[in-house]
């Protein structure tokens, strides 16, 4: 009887094992066909759970336990699928729909719709100054403020790090949308307070409307982005898409491709603009300015290709070429006129924050034999926002013996404390402060900047001098030097070299005029 019972239990257990196996295989097929887990990790997770149940069932697992285990497995898989859906279609920081879900929403058929791309200005610079944790919190605050001030039927999503998108359905009236955009700009201009920081941000908005100016719904977001870029470039804050913008963008992309070739084909050239000492009328320095001689389009202004170089990353190799060429040509000019002369070279932020930038500068100085005191590196205020990172680099450059100038002063958000902490030698006042100078009228803001700089023992150079009224006004101030078209337009190096040779050959004045660098002679050299 005992033997028969043993066979009975053995046969019963085997039967249960076979039945459970059949159920589990069916479940696995059901999961793979219906749950549609596309991730390999999801499939592996499912197989591991099934294998665990299978293993337990081989040791006399009771039927109700099997049912419970299968229910738990299904819940886990559903949870994993929901998490996967969230990660696929939502932004992790702002919890807003991301680009993928947004594009699907835009494709939905409606008679009229408008897409607004909202770009947050200076967000990257803010991130650099306050760190990513605080900047992520700022992004959450921006998203929340947008949500609070939008009608319920407006769809909002997150596009890129510093861009949001609004979808407005059944609306195609440009005046209504423009009025809404202006209101939104005012709302977002209110300060954002985070811990001890208070941030004032501005936004640019690009608008594309279907079917008024975009006939294909899938192109709405890209078209709105083009309109936003146009608004940014023109400082209008709001831009409505026009078909001509696409053509302009295509031309920019072609220009960017040509710029890659320009670096390789040596189409870039350096021009130099002198700086004149107001007291001695001597040439104290010259600023190196890069120019692009396009084989088909001729001379292309820096404003047209420098932003492209910044976006593409080409600014780093271009910047290195400019620095190396400027040092070499300055050394060549020093040898020709038998007198020292300083050269100023503009830096980009991407150059400055290279890990080995200080070493690059040192290597170039050694290779060109230019003494460090004859090189001045020009930086802008926006490049120094993250002082904790930038200050050590500037101090290391100072240790090399080069001088540092703060260019375009007045465009940014400088303070006296900010200037005091920077290891700079020279302050270059932005041309906007001298544009309206009249020698018979006072310019208190300009005078204040010059006075502040002198209290900090900084050399002061005024840019953009184009009229004698401006020259005479600054001549009677504490300003040290001036630079601008009145003194000389930027001149190619070859012309400068030929002019120096001609003056030396014709007048034999190496020991007098060339050493003095008087104003009249400067006009002869830089022409």
Among 514, 507, 453, 443, which residue's Cα sits nearest to residue 478? 453
Question: pLDDT digit string (tens) for 56-112?
Answer: 555 444 445 544 555 565 566 565 566 665 667 788 788 888 888 877 887 777 778
pLDDT for residue 500: 83
Please spell the DSSP secondary structure of 42-55, one letter per residue: HHHHHHHHHHHHHH
Q: Tell me if residue 128 falls in helix, strand or coil.
A: helix
* Domain annotation for the chain: domains and CATH numbers: 99-241 (3.30.70.270), 251-526 (3.20.20.450)
Question: pLDDT digit string (tens) for 495-523?
Answer: 988 888 877 766 544 444 444 445 566 66
What is the percentage of the chain residues whose pLDDT exceeds 70? 74
Residues comprising the chain, all counted = 527
Round the average pLDDT of the chain to a whole number and report it: 80
Q: Which pairing describes strands 375-380 and 342-346: parallel, antiparallel, or unpaired? A: parallel
Query: With contact defined as beta carbons under 8 Å apart, do 121 and 202 qualify?
Result: yes
Question: pLDDT digit string (tens) for 244-300?
Answer: 787 777 777 788 888 888 888 889 999 999 999 998 888 889 999 999 998 888 988
> Which is more confident, 165 or 171?
165
Question: pLDDT digit string (tens) for 210-242?
Answer: 887 776 777 788 888 888 888 887 777 898 988
Say which DSSP state 301 is in: P
In terms of pTM, does the model score above 0.85?
no
Question: pLDDT digit string (tens) for 386-430?
Answer: 667 788 999 999 999 999 999 988 765 555 667 788 899 999 998
What is the mean predicted confidence (pLDDT) over 34-60? 54
Phi and psi angles of residue 214, each rounded to the nearest 5 degrees, phi first = -135, 120
Q: Tell me if residue 327 falls in helix, strand or coil.
A: helix
Q: Which pairing describes strands 163-169 and 155-160: parallel, antiparallel, or unpaired? A: antiparallel
Q: Map 376-388 to HEC letters.
A: EEEEEHHHHCCHH
Helices (H), 353-443: 357-368, 387-400, 416-421
Alpha-carbon distance 62 to 39, whole Å? 32
């Amino acid at each position: 009887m005992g033997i028969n019972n043993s066979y009975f239990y053995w046969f019963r257990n085997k039967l249960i094992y076979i039945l459970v196996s059949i159920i589990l295989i069916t479940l696995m097929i059901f999961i793979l066909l219906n749950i549609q887990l596309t991730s390999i990790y999801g499939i592996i997770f499912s197989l591991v759970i099934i294998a665990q149940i299978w293993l337990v069932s081989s040791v006399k697992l009771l039927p109700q336990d099997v049912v419970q285990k299968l229910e738990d497995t299904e819940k886990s898989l559903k949870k994993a699928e929901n998490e996967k859906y969230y990660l696929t279609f939502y932004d992790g920081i702002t919890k807003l729909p991301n680009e993928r879900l947004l594009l699907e929403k835009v494709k939905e058929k409606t008679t009229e719709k408008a897409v607004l791309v909202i770009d947050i200005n200076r967000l990257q610079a803010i991130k650099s100054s306050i760190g990513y944790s605080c900047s992520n919190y700022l992004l959450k605050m921006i998203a929340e403020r947008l949500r609070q001030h939008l009608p319920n039927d407006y769809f909002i999503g997150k596009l890129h790090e510093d861009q949001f998108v609004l979808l407005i359905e059944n609306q195609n009236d440009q005046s209504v949308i423009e009025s809404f955009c202006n209101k939104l700009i005012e709302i977002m201009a209110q300060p954002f307070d985070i811990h001890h920081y208070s941030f004032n941000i501005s936004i640019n908005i690009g608008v594309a409307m279907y079917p008024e100016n975009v006939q294909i719904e899938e192109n709405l977001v890209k078209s709105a982005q083009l309109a936003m870029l146009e608004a940014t470039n023109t400082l209008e804050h709001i831009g409505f898409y026009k078909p001509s913008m696409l053509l302009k963008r295509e031309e920019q992309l072609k220009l960017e491709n040509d710029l890659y070739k320009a670096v390789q084909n040596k189409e870039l050239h350096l021009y130099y603009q002198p700086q004149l000492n107001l007291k001695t009328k001597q040439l104290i320095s010259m600023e190196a300015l890069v120019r692009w001689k396009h084989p088909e389009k001729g001379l292309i202004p820096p404003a047209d290709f420098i932003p492209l170089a910044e976006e593409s990353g080409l600014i780093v190799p271009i910047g290195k070429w400019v620095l190396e060429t400027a040092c070499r040509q300055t050394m060549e000019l020093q040898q020709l006129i038998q007198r020292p002369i300083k050269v100023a070279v503009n830096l980009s932020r991407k150059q400055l924050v290279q890990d080995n930038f200080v070493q690059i500068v040192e290597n170039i100085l050694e290779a060109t034999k230019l003494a460090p005191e004859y090189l001045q590196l020009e930086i802008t205020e926006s490049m120094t926002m993250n002082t904790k990172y930038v200050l050590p680099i500037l101090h290391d450059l100072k240790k090399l013996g080069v001088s540092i100038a703060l260019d375009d002063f007045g465009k940014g958000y400088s303070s006296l404390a900010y200037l005091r902490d920077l290891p700079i030698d020279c302050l270059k006042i932005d041309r906007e402060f001298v544009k309206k100078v009249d020698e018979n009228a006072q310019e208190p803001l300009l005078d204040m900047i010059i006075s502040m700089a002198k209290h900090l023992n900084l050399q002061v150079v005024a840019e953009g001098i184009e009229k004698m009224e401006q020259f005479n006004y600054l001549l009677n101030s504490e300003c040290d030097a001036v630079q601008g078209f009145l003194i000389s337009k930027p001149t190619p190096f070859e012309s400068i070299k030929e002019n120096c040779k001609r003056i030396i050959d014709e007048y034999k004045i190496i020991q007098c005029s060339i050493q003095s660098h008087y104003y009249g002679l400067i006009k002869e050299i830089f022409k």
